[in-house]
Structure 1
Amino acid sequence: MKTSQKKPFLTCKDYTVSGESFELIYNDHQDILITQPQPSSEDLPKYYQSEDYISHTDASKKFSDKLYQGVKNVMLQKKVKLIDSLVNSENKTLLDIGAGTGDFLKTAKQSNWKVRGVEPNSAARKLAEQKEIHLIEDISLISSEEKFDLISLWHVLEHIPDLDLQIEKFHSLLNRNGYLIIAVPNFKSYDASYYQEFWAAYDVPRHLWHFSKEGMVRLLESHQFQFQKTLPLVFDSFYVSLLSEKYKTGKSNFLKAFRLGMKSNLKAKRTNEYSSLIYVFKKA
């Protein structure tokens, strides 16, 4: 990624795996935050080796797990409704990057999408296989001749090294007028400003990049994508606040987290700075 001036923004801790601290550096040209130091490609997988990393499991043991899984089931239907509204054809094709345990692709398949998925984590891929969803390990295994009507990344772009290179790959794999859907946390949300270094959606060092609305649009437009719209992920503020309270105080503080999540959403009705946003882009 091209950078200009870099300014220290926050120091955050990895609460999930290592306990290590990482710097967030503000790139004023891109209007994004960059995690430093970024783990090497060899070291990065070890930061995902935790039972608490829920997107690689179907866990529902703890209250936060049950909340996550319940919200996920609601959102699966909303996500498929969104992609159905964008592509209306008999042979519609979908590529999901960071497909986790395959639930989104399974739901899309039930809505007559021809689906493909990429997931680096082997345990997640095995769970997807049990749902009859075959995932490949890396996007490089997809032929450049294969094209898709829509590519989705649900809370995945922030994890991807070689950001510019990967976005160029997405562009090349889309059909003419194809869509790219990206969901990411928003570091300019109220809950991010409230929790500061304890904000769970920083999730260092698994999150290598941290986006604002302006930064996301600048980045994708520089890669020949046309911005279409944003949509809120209103449940995220509640889940993120619940985790953030635990990081900050050592306790779940469910009621306080609920109030904070509600306050963040109410403020975002005016500012559109929701805790997480879905971005819809079209191939230019």
Structure 2
Amino acid sequence: MKPWMSMPIDWLKGEPTPYGEIYWCEESQYGLVMPRPDRESVRSFYDLKAYYTHGSNHVTESEKNTFLDWLRVNIAWRFDRGTEITANFIDRSLAGKISSICEIGCGNGELLQQLKEIGHKVCGVEPDEKALAFLKDLDVYPGTAEEMPTAVMSRSFDLVIIKHVLEHCLDPLVALRNAYQLLRSGGILVCEVPNNCALQLSYDGVTWPFLDIPRHLNFFTPTSLRAICEKSGFKMQSLFFRGYTRQFSNSWINTQAFIWDRLRDAQAQADAYPLPKRISQVRVWKHLFVSLLARAEKKYDSVGIIAIRP
């Protein structure tokens, strides 16, 4: 593995972090933060005033949109063929059969709530005890993908969802093997992570919002996501991609500008690598036209896999 990227601060807190060095293996297409934090440090990364699990957005919202802003997003939307993990998507994966479903890292519980409303038997696991999922009429247990609650591990499911969780794990292989144990033979895994071969990462360097150090500890591409799932015993069925239109929204652009400004304010720019120029409308439009007809693995910011436990 070789040094790949360096992010000296936690941009959400605006504080220095000792866990900002990412190493990359070109052969396996996988990266990880080194040194690895301990579990207590990992818990402290989520001590935030605003985070999506609490029902508040940690991405910078935008209230002002010009005609050109609308046009840019509309063009991206028309070329967006991404696959969203919705209740209907999960229902189609199960061929409409009423099934038992576990979501590891269920956050605000929105997806589980929707699946429950259409008749599925649902269960969730969530490490953030302040998450909104615990306030809803859902069967949710505190725990992590690597340290699953006994009450959940003693059950079996038709489908397990791990959506934007693996990148947060100290040991993603353990997390996937736990998911494997939860599934019945023939059960389905739906797993999604940030796509670290996306063009936007090459454009935006350490200001890419999905880098999110130190909460993100692992960095996957379609190749490495497939490899780790197969190493855990799963048989891949298909890959899917999502996250294109949002890359051109003012909220996303403002977040990138905020990260750049945080680096400047912390006087940490010299230690950040690769550090792009501050985001501009010109660069965003250039990215749009370059990416419109790009291959899926370059176009979208997230990649997912549907796999089966044999």
TM-score tier by shorter-chain length is 0.7 to 0.9
Q: Secondary structure at the match of 2:141?
A: coil
Match of 2:111 among 104, 121, 129: 104
Shift of 1:135: 1.5
Q: Secondary structure at the match of 2:140?
A: coil
Deviates more, 1:256-265 or 1:228-237: 256-265
2:303 match: 277
Q: Secondary structure at the match of 2:177?
A: helix
Q: Quick check: 1:56 aligned with 2:53?
A: yes
Higher relative contact order by CA 8 Å / sep ≥ 6: 1 or 2? 2
1:81 match: 88
Q: Secondary structure at the match of 1:281?
A: strand
Between the aligned partners of 2:246 and 2:304, the Cα distance in structure 1 is: 11
Deviates more, 1:165-174 or 1:86-95: 86-95
TM-score relative to the length of structure 1: 0.83
Match of 1:121 among 106, 128, 137: 128
CA contact (8 A) 2:10 2:213 kept: yes
Shift of 1:30: 2.9
Counterpart residue identity of residue 82, structure 1? F
CA contact (8 A) 1:159 1:206 kept: yes
Cα RMSD after superposing both structures: 3.0
Shift of 1:222: 1.2
Deviates more, 1:253-262 or 1:194-203: 253-262
Counterparts in 2 of 1:257 and 1:159: CA distance versus 1, 3 Å: farther
CA contact (8 A) 1:231 1:278 kept: yes
Counterparts in 2 of 1:159 and 1:264: CA distance versus 1, 3 Å: farther
Q: Deviations over 1:245-282 (max 9, x none)?
A: 32125699685686467457525446554111222111
Counterpart residue identity of residue 14, structure 1? D
Between the aligned partners of 1:256 and 1:56, the Cα distance in structure 2 is: 33
Residue correspondences, number: 269
Shift of 1:8: 0.6
Counterparts in 2 of 1:227 and 1:256: CA distance versus 1, 3 Å: farther
Counterpart residue identity of residue 4, structure 2? F
TM-score relative to the length of structure 2: 0.76
Counterpart residue identity of residue 237, structure 1? Q
Unaligned runs of 5+ in 1: 1-5, 67-74
Match of 2:247 among 237, 244, 257: 237
Counterpart residue identity of residue 245, structure 1? A
Counterpart residue identity of residue 139, structure 2? H
Larger gyration radius, structure 1 or structure 2: 2
Between the aligned partners of 1:103 and 1:109, the Cα distance in structure 2 is: 10
Q: Deviations over 1:199-240 (max 9, x none)?
A: 121111111100011111111111121122222213453465
Q: Quick check: 1:154 aligned with 2:163?
A: yes
Unaligned runs of 5+ in 2: 64-81, 265-277
Between the aligned partners of 1:134 and 1:65, the Cα distance in structure 2 is: 35
Between the aligned partners of 1:272 and 1:28, the Cα distance in structure 2 is: 16
Counterpart residue identity of residue 303, structure 2? L
State the percentage of identical aligned residues. Answer: 22
Counterparts in 2 of 1:15 and 1:63: CA distance versus 1, 3 Å: closer
2:11 match: 15
Counterpart residue identity of residue 188, structure 2? Y
Between the aligned partners of 1:275 and 1:224, the Cα distance in structure 2 is: 26
Match of 1:191 among 190, 200, 220: 200
Counterpart residue identity of residue 146, structure 1? R
Q: Secondary structure at the match of 2:139?
A: coil
Shift of 1:43: 1.3
1:201 match: 210
Q: Secondary structure at the match of 1:201?
A: coil
Deviates more, 1:239-248 or 1:16-25: 239-248
Between the aligned partners of 1:267 and 1:113, the Cα distance in structure 2 is: 38
Q: Identify the structure with the greater helix proportion.
A: 1
Shift of 1:131: 2.5
Shift of 1:196: 1.1
CA contact (8 A) 2:52 2:58 kept: no
Q: Secondary structure at the match of 1:230?
A: strand
Q: Secondary structure at the match of 1:237?
A: helix
2:141 match: 136
Counterpart residue identity of residue 244, structure 1? Q
